[in-house]
Structure 1
């Protein structure tokens, strides 16, 4: 019987749907147990992963029957695309499934960090009343800078414009005359965007070109009092440099959902840093997006197996 291995969390309804046709191994512990994962894929026809399972040469060598990698999301830096192509393995990300979730996450961060009013619970319970210290700024009328202007960034821009924000964006891979720029001010360099943005949100993949794109020099180019949001990929932001900028009050705040090492290691440079919100790679995961992405991925894998002539 055709076998599918699922190594990270997935909507149970989509899993149950796959189980009606295929032999499905659904075990979220596999992502943290490499030897068990390699054993599980020996006779697998497909594997479904999120961002932590490493689909590399070692895994592909252990899975000679593999036909498809279903990605519950869109980032592909944990998947060796060249090795997959060489082995004839189709890689299928779930494009468009979590755009709304990420866009809402980014805007929530902007609203919270610009307003500066949501870190007062403990002082208030201690009898303080810090009204003057917590007078923040409105999002309306401020400038949002988007680094990368793909589908999720455009979802974010549409919502930001509805909040009366000005949106600027930098994306050297999108043609200057592309219709997607409508309503958005296009910048030709990252430096020019950082100089004018009150909030900066990152929407680029992790590559050699983008690793530590936001380093100490880039942070120094940002406006005093600006905020930074990274819900794209860990490694795009130099975490040590960001920690220093926040400690030195060069930025008003930051929201990070992705990190160079996940989970965070002990003694992280981000420990104890002021005006910093950390979340565990959850920006694109809501109940609704998880259901959409899971069903899209199940359908993608099913289609690949059908075209490959693999019977259930």
Structure 2
């Protein structure tokens, strides 16, 4: 039976699948003192967020497969793995619904201005002497917007982007997308208007949501120039990768009022430094890389990575 080492814990449903066809070792993370010995004779490893560097791979000379519990593989040295003939498998669709739901929830949060309104209410801005609460909402400049009729722009129209689009269309939004790899006819059949490039998309949208992998060599996709192209009432959601957005430029856009609001679930680096300008920016929802962290998605990721790892090893799955 192949030997598979779990560098971090996964849902028991995935562990059970692995145990049916492999010897499984469960470690407690990259600092586990058993790691070098476990790597030495492992046929496969399964990892969540731990970086898999050259140093790690060089301790596992028998490795044939790396299973990534999640969609992205940017924490793995893919170049060296390819040179060594190590196959990388991931779970690109297991968190699709969770991230889609997160994105729509964040959109609603920003359009309804929940953070601003709650802060005003808790801060005593609403008083009995000032009349009705709806009237005070108006006078305090806290009126929200409807998603229905608003224009959502997607950067990336893969599985997650299309999951967001389905939900947005059901709420009456118009949806456009920039994705050079997507079939324009397929997008149109799904109700999504394909757009040639980012420069054409940005000036037209009320909300922009990012659903593409990061590329450290390319640098941020959204920076000072792109924020200047958005409408002042637009909002941004990034639940993809931290490096896609210039965080300092985002803080300036929010503070200067050239962007109405943003939701950020991913950072560069992670965790973010609390001294970052983001933490002082207004109208910004910050969450700790949790868009995919639902009970359902974590179970699906564990089951999928177990099955895909065993299949890549040539082991039988039931």
TM value normalised by structure 2: 0.89
Residue 303 of structure 1 and its aligned partner are, at CA, apart by 1.4
Unaligned 5+ runs, structure 1: none
The aligned counterpart of 1:61 is: 58
1:1-312 map, 5 Å: 2-30=2-30, 33=31, 37-50=35-48, 52-129=49-126, 131-132=137-138, 133-176=141-184, 178-182=185-189, 183-208=191-216, 210-306=218-314
Residue 44 of structure 1 and its aligned partner are, at CA, apart by 1.6
Q: In structure 2, how many angstroms separate the alpha carbons of the residues matched to 1:297 and 1:62?
A: 22
TM value normalised by structure 1: 0.90
- Residues 175 and 121 of structure 1: is their aligned pair in 2 closer, same or farther, counting only changes over 3 Å? closer
Q: In structure 1, how many angstroms separate the alpha carbons of the residues matched to 2:116 and 2:24?
A: 45
- Residues 57 and 219 of structure 1: is their aligned pair in 2 closer, same or farther, counting only changes over 3 Å? same
RMSD of aligned residue pairs (Cα, Å): 2.1
Say which SS state the counterpart of residue 131 (structure 1) adopts: helix
Residue 203 of structure 1 and its aligned partner are, at CA, apart by 0.9
Higher relative contact order, chain-length normalized (CA < 8 Å, sep 6+): 2
Q: In structure 2, how many angstroms separate the alpha carbons of the residues matched to 1:118 and 1:9?
A: 34
Residue 21 of structure 1 and its aligned partner are, at CA, apart by 4.2
Cα-to-partner distance string for 1:48-99 (whole Å, 9 max, x where unaligned):
112x322232221110111111111111111222221221211111121111
Count, aligned residues: 304
Residue 237 of structure 1 and its aligned partner are, at CA, apart by 0.2
Contact 2:215 2:243 in 1 (8 A): no
Q: In structure 2, how many angstroms separate the alpha carbons of the residues matched to 1:35 and 1:224?
A: 52
Unaligned 5+ runs, structure 2: 127-135
